[in-house]
Structure 1
Amino acid sequence: MFLEGKVKKYNVERGFGFIQLDNKQQDIFFHITDFPKAAGEPKVGERLKFLMVEDKGKFKAVNIVRLDLKRSDLVNPFIQKEKNQNVIVPNNPPVSKKGITFTIVGLVIIAVLMGLVFQKYQSYQQSQRLKAAQLIEEQKRIIAEQRKAVGELPEIKRSEKTENALKASAMPAVIHTQQSTISQTQFSCDGRQHCSQMRSYEEAVFFLRNCPNTKMDGDNDGIPCENDSRW
C-alpha cells in the first residue's frame, strides 16, 4: 500500500533523508538510491508517494514517486545535458560582405605601398651607381690635369763612374754563377766524404755545398779542407 508524505530532511553529502508521513509523527528513512533520478536532488517540503518496507529491523521508503513534479520536469537532466552538448554552435560567425571588402582594400593598399618602396629603393641604387661613376671620372680628370701640369719627366742618366761601379759589383755574382754551373757539370756526388778523396779545391767546395754527410769542414765556417797542404 502506497503512503504519502513530504521530505522533512535531506543530507546532500551523505545521500539520505527522512519523510514525514501525513497525519503521523513518525518519520521514514529514505536513501538517494531509492529516489527517482529525474529532476535532480530531493527538495525539502516536496510531496512523495512511496512503499514502506522493513530493512534490518528498520523501516524505509522505496519505489518513491515525486508528486510535485510536472511532466516536463520528469525528463532526465543527463539526457537534456547530452542534447545540449550535441548542439553545434558555430565558432566563427559568417563574414559579412563589408568585412570582405575592407580586407580586399587593405591588401590592395599594402601591395601599392610595397611597390612604392621597391621603386624608391631602385632609384636610390641607381643614384648611388651614378655618383660612383661621376667620382671615377672626376678622379681620372684630376690625374690627367696633374700629369699635364708636371709634364714628361726627364730621363735620368748615370755617370760613367756609377756605371762602372754597378758593372764591378755585378761581376762577382756572374763569376760565381759561372763557376757553379761549371762545377755542377764537372762534379757529381758519388759518396766521397773526406778531403783526401778530393782531386781539387773546387771539387771539395762542390761536395761540401751539394753532397750530404761530408766531413771536410771541422769548424763549420763554410771553407773545406783548410789544413790540406795540396792547395
Structure 2
Amino acid sequence: MFQEGKVKNYQAERGFGFIQVDGESRDLFFHIKDMPNRNIQPQIGEKLKFRIVEEKGKFKADNIVRLDLKAEPLHQGAGSPVRESNRAAPRDQAGSGKAKYITLIGLVIIAVLTAVTYGKYRDYQAQKQQKAQQLMLEQQRIIEEQRQAQGKLPDQVLTEQGRKNLASRPEQIQAGRLPSRAPAEQGNARPAADSNQAPVFKCDGRTHCSQMRSYEEAVFFIRNCPGTKMDGNHDGVPCERQFNR
C-alpha cells in the first residue's frame, strides 16, 4: 500500500535521507537509488509517494514517486526520456472518463427499464380493477332484475343465481357487450308486468316439483307449506332443473 510523506532531510554526499511520513511520528529512511530522476536532487519538503519495505531488518521507502516534479527531461540534452508517471497520466484520465461515461449510460438504461415496467404493471392493475367493477355492477343489476321478476327472495339465492347468469356469458362481459336482460329473466318478468294482480296460491298437500305449474308456485310452497320436497340442496331455489334455475 502506498503512503505519502515529505522529505525531511537529505545528505547529498552520502545519497540518502529521511522522509516524514504523513500521520506518523517516526521518520523513514530512503536512498537516492530508489528514486526516479536521480539526477535531480531531492528538496526538503518535497512530496513523495512510496511503499514501506523491509531490508536487512530495517524499514525503508521503495517504489518512490516524486509528486512535485513536473513532466520534464531527466537530462538536459535533447531527446531525453520523459518521466514514466507523467506519460501514463493522460491514459489513466482517459480510462477514468470512459468508465464514468459507461456507468452513466448503464444508469440511464436501468431507469428507463424501471419506468416501462412500472407503467405496464400499473396498466395491468387498472384493467384488472375495471373488470372486477364491471362484474360487480352486472351482478347487482341481475339481482335487481330478479327482485322485480321473482319477488323478495333471500340475497343469498339472488346472488347465486346472478353468478350463474354471469358464468353463462363471460365473453360478453369481457368485451363490454352486456345484454340488458337475459332471455329467461325477460320471460319471468313479463307475467309480473302484464298482470295487475299476483297469482294466489294455497297449500293443498302437493310436495313435489312435478306437481308445480310455475316457479312462483314452487317458491310459495317451499316458503309456506310444510313437508315439501322441492329444494334438495336447501339453497332457497326450488325445482332448479324443472324451471332451469
Q: What TM-score results when the alignment is normalised by the length of structure 2? A: 0.31
Question: TM-score normalized by structure 1?
Answer: 0.33
